[in-house]
Amino acid sequence: MHPNLPERLFPTARSEAATANKPTSVPQTEHPAYALAFQDNDFLLKDEMRPVRLQLELAKADLALAEAGIKSMFVFYGSARIPAPEDAQALVDNAKTDRERAIAESLKAKSVYYEEARRLARMVSGEGAMQRYFTVCSGGGPSIMEAANRGAADVGAPSVGLNIVLPFEQVPNPYVTPGLSFQFHYFALRKMHFLMRAKAVAVFPGGFGTFDEMFELLTLIQTGKVAAMPIVLFGREFWNKIINFEALADEGTINHADLELFHMVDSAEEAWAIVREHYSI
């Protein structure tokens, strides 16, 4: 543009907002109706404005990720309850009943997955030029999510955290890159952001949330809504015990070919090899 030509015709929304925040005090300006629509929380939080809030949740993280140059991600799903190896024994020691102790011992045994998630994140984040293709993304919380962001931090790489507002307090784990830490109200929009840039997905042992995310992804690929990508399920023993995938195929509720949509692995090396083979890198 020629230097003598103005870059903008209209003032920015930011400058207009600053002016609007300093009105002359008269009855009309004191009434909430006078506030600019995009600064009026009472208006934005009305049930009727849900479509706008959905759009805002999609746009905010999308723009921030684009501005950060993040075009593709390696997504980590998994439990919020599996302890880090250094914290596992304390979980057992604090158990008060036999049942609590048995559960604590089970979670302690699964702490190996915390370490594998951390190792995998370290691998995919430390491959030089490939970092930008496999930016680590987790749900931003504790346990497996923390391990993923921690692995990226180990090698000085950025990582994304997609937190969700829950009835109980959820604080982002300390390893998420602050400028890439987002909070969502709508699960649907959070799920979209997990997959919009996903190029590979690692699924670790988890509960309802992990199963929800995993089966939705498998369904999207099965129905052609999402392109096929490497999906690695960590822990053959866990998955074979919890879900009988073969039985689903034998019952006819899925095709036997659907069992090829994912791979079961036990180590970070095995998972990374599958991803590299898929993309011939």
Task: For the chain, list the strands marked E by DSSP.
Answer: 73-77, 135-138, 159-164, 181-184, 198-203, 231-234, 263-265
Residue 15's pLDDT is: 87
Range in 1-10, 138-147, 221-230, 241-250 with the lowest mean pLDDT = 1-10
Q: Above pLDDT 90, what percent of the chain?
A: 81
| Mean model confidence pLDDT for the chain | 94
Candidates 213, 203, 207; CA nearest to 117 is 203
Please report how many Cα atoms fall inside a 13 Å half-sphere around the Cα of residue 268, on the Cβ side: 19
Radius of gyration of the chain from Cα atoms?
A: 23
Q: 228 pLDDT band (50/70/90 cuts)?
A: very high
**pLDDT tens readout for residues 76-116:** 999 999 999 999 999 999 999 999 999 999 999 999 999 99
Domain ranges of the chain: 24-67, 70-279
Domain covering 70-279 in this structure, CATH number: 3.40.50.450
Candidates 100, 74, 87; CA nearest to 204 is 74
Range in 10-14, 37-41, 100-104, 154-158 with the lowest mean pLDDT = 10-14
CB atoms within 10 A of CB 271: 27
Question: With 60 as the cut, is the pLDDT of residue 129 above it?
Answer: no
